[in-house]
Homo-oligomer: A and B are copies of this chain.
Amino acid sequence: MTLVVQKYGGTSVADLARIRSVAARVKRHVEQGERVCVVVSAMAGTTNQLVAWVQELDPLCDPAEYDQVVSSGEQVTVGLLAIALRKAGVPARSFLGWQAGIATDDAHGKARILRIDPEPLRRCLERGEVPVVAGFQGLGPDGRVTTLGRGGSDTSAVALAAALRAERCDIFTDVDGVYTSDPRIVSRAQKLARITYEEMLEMASVGAKVLQTRAVALAMRHKVRLQVLSSFTDVPGTLVVDEDEVVESQVVSGIAYSRDEAKLSVVRVRDRPGVAAAIFGPLAEANINVDMIVQSVSRDGVHTNITFTVSRADLPRARAILAELKDQVGFERVDADDEVVKVSVIGVGMRSHAGIAHRMFRTLADKGINIQAISTSEIKISVLIAEEYAELALRALHQAYGLDRA
């Protein structure tokens, strides 16, 4: 008998009508002979309200008490969904994190799952009941409730799917799958039937908000087949699977973009050993993530320009740190620009196909778009361009790689 873990996010359980509709969906799967384990988030808006209360009392409060308060939202939805399922004639039982054997470390507010004792849920499944498990939470080593951080319910679902050796983990959300590009910009974007873990990870890390990076990485490690689909429709979603499950992969699977970029240029810095360390060391200490880095040798052979990107939120802090370094490191000035966007071409096929980068550069050049920085991974090429060209670049690249819907 096939076992599937289904995870429903906050918008899917936002009110009693939505909860009944989730119960009806679970019932259909059970009637088709599947065994189902359900993971739910809190009702949309609940967690925000709880966090707001905590913040108002004390923004720097004890994270263990933060978890005690914030984890109550899922407690409501697991109980209500179990009631709705039983009312619909489906035997069901709710489980909080500590009741479902989910053991985490003690990093309250962003705990990691250490292990899951699958016995409580397995016994429930063997009785023919649907376990309804609170996502986002677990039990710390000191017997206190922990939470996994925002979006942690995806991680709960994947971890439970691994522990129960489920056939698949279905993540129900308010979009119906992963697209070749943002459909709001690229009208010819297509929904992908399948995508590899690696591609999904790259997509998530450069702006596609469908799945949490952490949940995808966990799925990849445990080879849990993920499906992203909508709880508002009945169409199949996108399967996120291992590379060998994607029989005929596209060379390029998607074009992603991120507006959360800001560019900094340290101009006319003396080119000597240790200068990069002198600049990036203090930034790292301040917990500022540096992404793309370009070093251009200047014409005089003595000075150089170092250009790099940070997230827009970090820009003011990064500028302040660089200003302090000016005399010590020795450079002329720092230029900053936050009207930039990072566009990425992603595909596992790149490993075996030459010319992918060339086509990207050619396509952008043909449209008169200047590339300000480049970074690459094994399955991704990212370029930094002026933000005003974002839509043009996305559409042009989408077409150039043959992704446009017919």
Contact = CB atoms under 8 A, between A and B. Distances in A.
Contacts of A83: 54, 57-58, 61-62, 65-66, 69
A123 to B, nearest CB: 11
Copies in the complex: 2
A136 to B, nearest CB: 14
Interface string A44-83: 0000001001101110011011111101110110111011
Contact of A69 (B75, B93, B145): B75
B99 A144 contact: yes
A16 B56 contact: yes
A98 B139 CA distance: 13
| Residues of A in contact with B, size category | 35 or more
A13 to B, nearest CB: 12
Nearest to A71: B75
Contact of A79 (B65, B79, B84): B65
A86 interface: yes
Contacts of A79: 54, 65-69, 72
Contact of A75 (B56, B64, B75, B144): B75
A86 B50 CA distance: 18
Given A16-B57, A53-B80, A80-B54, A62 B75 contact: no
A82 B94 contact: no
A366 to B, nearest CB: 58
A87 interface: yes
A143 interface: yes
Interface in A380-402: none
A99 B143 contact: yes
A80 B94 contact: no
Contacts of A143: 99
A73 B16 CA distance: 18
Given A99-B143, A144-B99, A86 B58 contact: yes
A145 B72 CA distance: 13
A119 to B, nearest CB: 12
Nearest to A56: B16
A68 B73 CA distance: 11
Interface string A191-216: 00000000000000000000000000
A53 B79 CA distance: 10
B69 A72 contact: no
A87 B57 contact: yes
A87 B72 contact: no
Interface of A: 16, 19-20, 50, 53-54, 56-58, 61-62, 64-69, 71-73, 75-76, 78-80, 82-84, 86-87, 93-94, 96, 98-99, 143-145
Given A65-B93, A75-B75, 11 more contacts: A57-B84, A57-B87, A58-B84, A68-B82, A68-B94, A68-B96, A69-B80, A69-B83, A72-B76, A96-B145, A98-B98
The 3 A-B pairs with the shortest beta carbon distances in the complex, nearest first, are A69-B79, A68-B79, A72-B75
